[in-house]
Chain A
Amino acid sequence: MGYTKRMLWMIPLMLAISFLSFGLVRMAPGGPFDRERKPASPEIERRIREKYHLDEPVLKQYGRYLMGILGGDLGPSLKYRNHTVTEIVVQGLPISMGLGLCAFVCALGLGIPLGLYTAARKGGFGEVAGTFLAVLLVSVPGFVIGPLLVMELGIRWRLLPVALLESPAHWILPVVTLGLYFAGRVARLLREGMLSVRNADFVMAARSKGLSDLEVMLRHTFRIGVLPVVSYSGPMLADLMTGSFVVENLFQIPGMGVFMVNSSLSRDYTMIVGLVLVYAWLLLVLNLVVDMAYRVLDPRIRHED
């Protein structure tokens, strides 16, 4: 399918996503204005709901919401009643994206060499060690690694800052905490991809030309072996860019990850739908890029079209 057509398809897709999530959030029990300390009279509650049009039928609310989007307005946040969703996204998204991008580079920078090493050393101790490391990275959650790193490097040795984002040094721990898990996944996927092609025809041809092992690996098998990593990069980058709740909660980073989780927990309808739309758009674009990368990397697919 041509890429322009794919991009045009994004619009109805986003509409479908917005509609589904709009309905989904209203299915969850509890509403945005349910509080421990309720207003003394139910009349006030009714008024609040009326003010934000929550007493209207869902379709009508959705129509109103769509009209708003066409005007560029994602609606007011129901939890932070003085802020609009657009404001919050504009504030938080660049930070999450920056953090995500750095973590992405970190994940690839750590994961690809690890994966290559594990694939190259197949059958020996190196493979076991490499797999051990990769699985370790994948099995320990971020809210354990993060506090450990903070405690050691930030409190005991006072090498790095413990939270907030105020200087370049502040970025190191969050990026590393975020990137380690994905580095492990990338390493595993890359190893898998490399091993799956190591006996392919073109590899044998390259080897018979007299190229060294490393050259063969890097120049030929890597392009195909990295395909699973490439397929995974799309969702990985989308996940990273929209912020990780754990890292942002721990390091108090004003990104979008915390909002994505907290808005679900506090039933902030407009925020949830707004964030979902941003996430969906990112995801669609990134998947497009990934598909393009696929074609570039795997000449077998390219030549078939």
Chain B
Amino acid sequence: MKTEPTAVARGDSRSRAWGRFASQRVAVCGAWVLVVCMTILLLWPWVQQFDPAMIGDRQFSAPDAEHWLGTDVHGRDMLSRVMHGARMSMLVGLAGAGVSLVIGVIWGALAGYVGGRLDAMMMRLVDILYSLPSIIFVIVLITTLEGVVKRWMSGLVTSEFASVTRVTLLFVGLGGVSWLTMSRIVRGQVMALRDRPFVVASRALGAGQWHILRRHILPNILGVVVVYATLTVPAVVLYESFLSFLGLGIQPPQASLGSLIAEGASQINSVRIYWWLIAYPSVVLAGLLMVLSFLGDGLRDALEVRSD
């Protein structure tokens, strides 16, 4: 009996990947939610009812019709604060994770693929950097670069520019601290892949190093990398939150979800809880990270290349 070939998706690998992605309902849902959220966040400064820095008279008021998410100690509207905080956190998280992704993948792939002495040296360097105290590193980075920027631009620096500089330095610092684990994971995966039959075969056929890296190794580690990247975003945001908890993070009057959470953490006590100061930022943060993770999972499945 002649069997009808089952309908295989036609087209090149890209559209096949897209098809697989679309079939993941949750990931698509996540993607849409993310798009909606990003739009709201991007447009927020024009949509907002209250300026987040505007001080009001009603301190610590619970959520009501006027202030949907309540107010804080200065009478500032929490909804606005949370939205601006989400913008900042997304910026910090994505940029920091991006930096760490790029450096980590390149470093780890190189170390894992080349192996031998170079691998040992690179990984030992990672060990050294990992042992250095990150807080001191962040402090030194922020203060030295701030000083440098101030000297170059003295007189030209407006407050906006200064705060943007400081935030950028924060990303760089955070990214610079988190690429280390990524590189280790990537190296592990690459090492496992490099002596697999198809890679050996490819080499035997005369393919160059770069070609192998690009076409064989990288697509195979993409899964781990994507998942790890979606793990790095929360790690960066939480590290920023920890820095705010220590007083080193985002400077007021700006806020990020991390700094709002760090401020709100002291609200969890047994005497009186202004719950809206901690609940909303945490929920928003968890929600955004959730959406990113589902998206990451979907991406990973879509990009999955059969390993044989």
Contact = CB atoms under 8 A, between A and B. Distances in A.
- Given a CB threshold of 8 Å, the question of whether A touches B is answered with yes
B80 interface: no
B85 to A, nearest CB: 14
B135 A261 contact: yes
A36 B196 CA distance: 62
B269 interface: yes
A90 interface: no
Interface string A1-42: 100000001000100110011001101110000000000000
Contacts of B191: 301
Contacts of B120: 1, 9
B111 interface: no
A87 B128 CA distance: 25
B143 A141 contact: no
Contacts of B245: 143, 246
A195 B269 CA distance: 42
Nearest to B286: A139
Contact of B269 (A1, A141, A147): A147
Contact of A138 (B224, B231, B294): B231
Contacts of A232: 181, 184-185
A-side binding surface: helix, strand, loop or mixed?
A: helix
Interface string A245-266: 1100000000000001100110
Interface residues of B, number: 65
A228 B269 CA distance: 38
B140 A144 contact: no
Contacts of A279: 131
Contacts of A287: 123, 127
A132 B189 CA distance: 26
A70 interface: no
Given A143-B245, A304-B195, A235 B184 contact: yes
Contact of B286 (A140, A143, A193): A140
Nearest to A261: B135
Given A141-B238, A261-B246, A276-B133, A28 B143 contact: yes
Contacts of B261: 141, 144
Interface stretch (A51-59, A103-111, A197-205, A206-214): A197-205
A144 B268 contact: yes
Interface in A128-183: 128, 131-132, 135-136, 138-141, 143-144, 147-148, 151, 155-156
B188 interface: yes
B285 interface: yes
A140 B245 CA distance: 14
B234 A138 contact: yes
A91 interface: no
A231 B234 contact: no
Contact of B270 (A13, A151, A260, A284): A151
A275 B131 CA distance: 10
B307 A196 contact: yes
A294 interface: yes
A16 B128 contact: yes
A272 interface: yes
A11 B185 CA distance: 25
A280 interface: yes
Interface stretch (A61-69, A74-82, A92-100, A184-192): A184-192
B241 interface: yes
26 contacts: A25-B133, A29-B143, A128-B294, A136-B286, A138-B231, A138-B235, A139-B234, A139-B237, A139-B285, A141-B261, A143-B265, A144-B265, A195-B300, A199-B306, A227-B189, A228-B185, A228-B188, A232-B185, A235-B184, A264-B135, A264-B139, A272-B133, A275-B133, A287-B123, A300-B196, A301-B192
Given A24-B132, A224-B192, A228-B228, 10 more contacts: A135-B290, A139-B290, A140-B286, A141-B242, A143-B245, A151-B270, A189-B228, A196-B304, A232-B184, A272-B133
Interface of B: 26, 120, 123-124, 127-128, 130-133, 135-137, 139-140, 143-144, 180-181, 184-185, 187-189, 191-192, 195-196, 223-224, 227-228, 230-231, 234-235, 237-238, 241-242, 245-246, 258, 261-262, 264-265, 268-270, 278, 282, 285-286, 289-290, 293-294, 297, 300-301, 304, 306-308
Interface of A: 1, 9, 13, 16-17, 20-21, 24-25, 27-29, 128, 131-132, 135-136, 138-141, 143-144, 147-148, 151, 155-156, 185, 188-189, 191-193, 195-197, 199-201, 224, 227-228, 230-232, 234-235, 238, 245-246, 260-261, 264-265, 272, 275-276, 279-280, 283-284, 287, 294, 298, 300-301, 304
